[in-house]
Structure 1
Amino acid sequence: MVAFIKYLYHEFGLSSVHSTGWDAVLIILARCCRMFAYGTNSLLLALFFSELHFSDYRIGLFMTLTLVGDVVLSLFLTLVADKVGRRLILFSGSILMVLSGFTFAVFENFWILLFAAVVGVISATGGDFGPFRAIEESTLSQLTNPKTRADVLAWYVTTASLGSAIGTEIAGQSVEWLRGRDGWRVVDAYHACFWVYSAMGLLNMIFSVLLSANCEAEKAEPLGTEEAETLLDEQDPKDLDGRDSEDDQDIKKPPTTDDSSSKPKTESRFARISRETRRIMYKLWFLLIIDSLADGMTPVTLTNYYMDKKFHLRKSTLGNITSVSYFLASCSTVFAGPLSRHLGLINTMVFTHLPSSAAVLFFPLPQNVPVTVALLLVRMGLNNMDQAPRSAFIAAVVKPEERTAVMGITSMLRTLASTAGPSVTGILAGSDRFWIAFVAAGALRITYDLGLFVMFINVKLDQHEETDHSKRNERPVVSGQASDEEELREL
Structure 2
Amino acid sequence: MQKTRNHLFRLLPITDTRLVIWARALRTFGYGFTSVLLGVSLTDAGLSPLNVGILLTVAALGSIAFSCMMGLYADRLGRKRLLILSALLMMLTGMVFAATQYYPLLLIASFCGTISPSTNDNTPFSGVEQAILAQSASTKRYTSLYTYYNLTAQLAGALGGLLVGISSVLSPLGISEHMSTHGLFALYGLLAGCTALLFLRLSPKAELALEQKYTQKLDKQGEHTQLLYKPRVRKVVILLLTLFAFDSFAGGLAVQTMLSLWFRQHFGASLGSLGMLFFGVNMFAALSLIFAPYLTKRHGLLKTMLVPHFISNVFLLLVACMPTYFLAALCLLLRQSLSKIDVPARQAFTAALVTPEERTSTASFATVARSTAVALSPLAASALMVGPLLALGLPILLASCLEIGYDFTMWQTFKRVTLQSDTVLAISTITIPPSKVPTISEIEILPSGDAPALSR
Bin for the TM-score computed over the shorter chain: 0.7 to 0.9
How far apart are 1:350 and its partner, in Å? 0.9
- Determine the structure 2 residue equivalent to 1:217: 208
Amino acid at match of 2:82: I
Amino acid at match of 1:215: A
- Determine the structure 2 residue equivalent to 1:325: 281
Amino acid at match of 1:176: S
**Where in structure 2 are the equivalents of 1:118-129 lying within 5 Å?**
118-129=111-122
- Does residue 189 of structure 1 match 2:193? no
- Determine the structure 1 residue equivalent to 2:302: 346
Change (3 A) 1:384 1:263: same
Q: Which runs of 5+ in 1 are unaligned?
A: 229-259, 266-271, 473-491
CA contact (8 A) 1:51 1:187 kept: no
CA distance in 2, matches of 1:365, 1:335: 29
How far apart are 1:274 and its partner, in Å? 5.5
- Does residue 451 of structure 1 match 2:409? yes
CA contact (8 A) 2:158 2:278 kept: yes
CA distance in 2, matches of 1:432, 1:117: 30
SS at match of 2:233: helix
CA distance in 1, matches of 2:167, 2:246: 35
CA contact (8 A) 2:91 2:192 kept: yes
CA distance in 1, matches of 2:229, 2:28: 30
SS at match of 2:156: helix
**Where in structure 2 are the equivalents of 1:227-238 lying within 5 Å?**
none
Change (3 A) 1:274 1:37: farther
- Larger CA deviation: 460-469 vs 291-300: 460-469
SS at match of 2:64: helix
- Determine the structure 1 residue equivalent to 2:336: 380
Amino acid at match of 1:195: A
CA RMSD of superposed structures (Å): 2.7
Match of 1:73 among 66, 69, 83: 66
- Determine the structure 1 residue equivalent to 2:293: 337
- Structure with bigger gyration radius: 1
CA contact (8 A) 1:16 1:151 kept: no
- Does residue 177 of structure 1 match 2:133? no
CA distance in 2, matches of 1:413, 1:22: 30
How far apart are 1:181 and its partner, in Å? 3.0
**Where in structure 2 are the equivalents of 1:7-26 lying within 5 Å?**
14=8, 16-18=10-12, 20-26=13-19
- Determine the structure 2 residue equivalent to 1:114: 107
How far apart are 1:333 and its partner, in Å? 0.4
- Determine the structure 2 residue equivalent to 1:255: none
TM-score (normalizing by structure 1): 0.81
- Larger CA deviation: 68-77 vs 121-130: 121-130
SS at match of 1:148: helix
TM-score (normalizing by structure 2): 0.87
Amino acid at match of 1:316: G
CA distance in 2, matches of 1:278, 1:24: 27
- Larger CA deviation: 104-113 vs 186-195: 186-195
CA distance in 1, matches of 2:399, 2:223: 48
- Determine the structure 2 residue equivalent to 1:50: 43
CA distance in 2, matches of 1:414, 1:282: 13
Amino acid at match of 2:180: A
CA distance in 1, matches of 2:160, 2:170: 16
CA distance in 2, matches of 1:264, 1:54: 59
Amino acid at match of 2:288: S
CA contact (8 A) 1:355 1:382 kept: yes
CA distance in 2, matches of 1:85, 1:33: 22
Q: Which runs of 4+ in 1 moved over 4 A?
A: 260-265, 272-275, 466-469
- Determine the structure 2 residue equivalent to 1:152: 145
SS at match of 1:334: helix
**Where in structure 2 are the equivalents of 1:365-404 lying within 5 Å?**
365-404=321-360
CA distance in 2, matches of 1:70, 1:25: 24
Amino acid at match of 1:177: V
CA offset digits 1:86-106 (Å, max 9, x no partner): 111111111011111110110
Change (3 A) 1:273 1:101: farther
